[in-house]
Amino acid sequence: MARAVGNLARLAAVSLGAVALTLPGLAAAERVETSAAASQGTSMTTPVTAAPLIPRDALFGNPTRAQGQISPDGKWLSWTAPYEGVMNVWVAPVSDPAAAKRMTNATDRPIPQYFWSPDSRSILYIQDKGGDENFLLYQVDIASGKEVTLTPFENTRVEVIGASHAIKDKLLVGLNNRDPQFHDVHLLDLATGELTLVMENNAYAGFMADDTLTIRMAMAQNEAGGTDYFRVVDGVVEDAPFETTAMEDSLTTSPAGYTQDGSVLYWIDSRGRNTAALFAQDTATGTRTLIAEDARADLGGTMRNPVTGVIEAYAVNYLINQWVALDAGVKASLDWLGEQFEGSFGINSRSDDDAIWIVWNDPVTAPTAVHIYDRKAKTLTPFYTSRPELAGKPLQMMHPVEITSRDGLTLPSYLTLPVGSDPDGTGVPVAPVPLVLLVHGGPWARDGYGFNSLHQLLANRGYGVLAVNFRGSTGFGKDFLNAGNKQWGLAMHDDLIDAVDWAIAKGITAPDSVAIMGGSYGGYATLAGLTFTPDKFACGVDIVGPSNLETLLGTIPPYWAPLVKIFHERMGDPNTEEGLALLRAASPLYKADQITKPLLIAQGANDPRVKQAESDQIVAAMKEAGIPVTYVLYPDEGHGFAKPANNIAFYAIAENFLAECLGGRAEPVGDALKPSTAQIIEGADHVKGLKAAPGK
């Protein structure tokens, strides 16, 4: 589609390359309030002890503002900001930013994503219930403030299929209210709310439309675990695919949209090569033209003209994300912006006339700031600073590093060190420090460079933080990705161990001072670390991690069913004797009695990806074996914690847990649990201050 739909499409759409146990926003929210005076935990080195303790609230509470955008017509600014402690959407005229008005009325869960209607007359946003990921679509009229539910269905997940620059009052949306496995395509009239069925879907995992809101493509998984792409002509899907991928390219090849006139279809494509490159395909002749490539990394994000849909710049994200312009005007703007900022920057949104950009700047060691960029005047007007309370705090730099695995793979990684431990900024402390190995979710995702609340919390408490892109991570070519196939608990885990050994050899940490921590797949890696290599880690923190890969695959969300072959090919097929044996051997549950180190587990009761049973069953196994464990359950959360109070409560527990394990300092638990819904199911005695905490 020519016009970018915004964050909703990226979050709500089920795409053939996006299925993973990723963690959407475990610690994404920020808050402006500061907490009560913090106290030091066990003794640390003098420089760390002397550094001010950054309050948890400042890192994991609500931001002052977030998600800044410009309306397509360039007349309105929008953002999310707290109202009575909950993130809501606000708008103001560009001509009078002080005349802000709140457009939404969320009172419980923060609004995760919103976007403008193409006609600039309304704000659209999504919301689920308690983290169940059944996202519905809501609309708020800018002039009247009237709010309506555009998809008023139960147990339904919406996905945006198409938006248009030419047809501004309509969208194409997918709804799985008829069959939870498949999304039927509907035309949504934004003026009346009417939904008109365009195509009943009983076979396809996704669709793509052009600027006329005509379905042009359908996508389905093939028997090999790859993807077949079918042309749709006059509403009928052709029998034979016009493009196809094998399993090896299934997560590194995907269409990237049509130009407005429909003459060009863009692809991010790894077929016949290692790293995914950017191609333009003539839709009339099928001829493909290579536009850009990089030997180190898959090409990622693109900047497309808001009206024509032509790609004007693309991103290469190896260790640090870099933009490369194809259009002379965009290049001049990006070059000028690069001269104004320290650290990385990017574009949140652009007006249709491309005169105004909303630009963010992340210096890593200072709060992220957002600006209004007038391209013609070459002016940057401050819009907001997301976390002004972090200004002047001892935020630590992030070091991109390359680590070599035992079999010769290069593992792009990121290291953050405690304040004062590395006065020369070399990336190696003057003396070894306790280390937290922080493992990303997915596993078909990646860690990246930039401000990270959890890195900053842990570094502030006296720990080094090492984030490793192990094999199976995305963005570094299909060879690197596919090296992780059926390697859960095997070579993927070896990469993490190799990274720890690297840190020990470099003098960054000591062998008995390493914790492992992560969410989703990272939670699995934590359980694997404490069961498969129990002597390697001093303790572990598992957040919504699966403990039994067989039961995990048996309970995947129904809307992932059309893509289940990907899981079977990349993890192990439970329908075969060999695959089932592989899954069971890689499941920490069956080795729970091998756990000898302290373990903290956190789980959302409504998690549709990693069910509560995944945590329940390993906790039960540990109890049966007489092994202590601390288990925190959130009855109103899903795959990660959306509510700031719940995030703050969890990290209050986690930092005090780590302080006892690794000897860092910690802000006391205090009354952090009181405003949260945290339930301590097991092991309150194992965390200092937890048993006595109000509201536990």
* Nearest-angstrom CA–CA distance, 682 and 160: 41
pLDDT confidence of residue 562: 81
Catalytic residue status for 616: no
Span 7-17+64-386 CATH architecture: 7 Propeller (2.130)
Residues 496-516 have a mean pLDDT of: 98
Catalytic residue among 122, 270, 351, 520: 520
Catalytic residue among 607, 615, 636, 676: 607
2 pLDDT more than 50:
no
Q: What order of strands is seen across the sheet that includes strand 254-258?
A: 254-258, 264-269, 277-282, 288-292
18 pLDDT more than 80:
no
H-helix or E-strand spanning residue 484:
none
Angle at 272 (CA atoms; ends 268, 273), nearest 5 degrees: 70
CATH 2.130.10.120 segments of the chain: 7-17+64-386
17 pLDDT more than 70:
no
CATH 3.40.50.1820 segments of the chain: 391-548+587-596+607-629+639-646
* Nearest-angstrom CA–CA distance, 1 and 305: 11
Strands (E), 131-226: 136-141, 147-149, 158-162, 170-179, 182-189, 195-199, 206-209, 215-221
Q: pLDDT tens, 344-374?
A: 999 999 999 999 999 999 999 999 999 999 9
Cβ atoms of residues 32 and 62 within 8 Å: yes
Catalytic residue status for 520: yes
pLDDT confidence of residue 49: 63
Percent of the chain with pLDDT over 90: 90
Catalytic residue among 35, 639, 676, 686: 639
Q: Please report which confidence band the pLDDT of residue 47 belongs to, taking 50, 70 and 90 as the band edges.
A: low
- Least reliable range by pLDDT among 21-25, 199-203, 528-532: 21-25
Report the 10 Å Cβ neighbour count for 282. Answer: 12
CATH number for 391-548+587-596+607-629+639-646: choose from 3.40.50.1820, 1.10.10.10, 3.40.50.300, 1.20.120.1780. Answer: 3.40.50.1820
Q: What order of strands is seen across the sheet that includes strand 410-416?
A: 398-404, 410-416, 464-468, 435-439, 514-519, 539-543, 599-604, 630-634, 679-682
